Amino acid sequence: MWRGIRLLSAPFRANYMLKPFPAAFSIRAFSASQSSVEVAIIDRLKETEGIKIDKLSPKSSFKEIGLDSLAQIELFSYLEEKFDVTLNDDDTEGVKGVNDLVRIILGKFK
C-alpha cells in the first residue's frame, strides 16, 4: 500500500499553515501628516516650562523660544513614543527648530 509523502497531505498542510510565526517586520498602526506632527510638537512645547509661547509657531527655532538641550532631548523622546519612530543622533544633530523636526519625523514614515 502506497502512502503519499506527508508534506503533500492536505491535513498536514492546513495544520502547518495555521501555526503562528514571528513577523519579520513591524507594521505601523498609522501614518502621520505634517499638520498632526506640527500640532503634537507645538502642544508638547506649550507644556514645557520656560518656553516663550507667544513666539511659538511651526517656523520657530528652538533658540528663539528658549528651548535648552535637555528639553530638546525630552521632546525627541516624547515624539519617538508618540509616533513610534526612532530618532538617532544623526537625525537630530542639525535640528534647529520645529520645521526641521517635522521634516525628520515625516521622513521616517517614507
Q: Where are the domains of the chain?
A: 31-108
> By the 8 A CB rule, do 79 and 105 touch?
yes
Lowest mean pLDDT among 12-16, 54-58, 63-67, 91-95: 12-16
Q: What band does 3 get if pLDDT is binned at 50, 70 and 90? A: low
What spatial distance separates the first Cα and last Cα of the chain, rounded to whole Å? 58
Domain 31-108 of CATH type 1.10.1200.10: yes
Tens-digit pLDDT profile for residues 12-58: 555 555 666 555 555 555 567 888 999 999 999 998 888 888 888 89
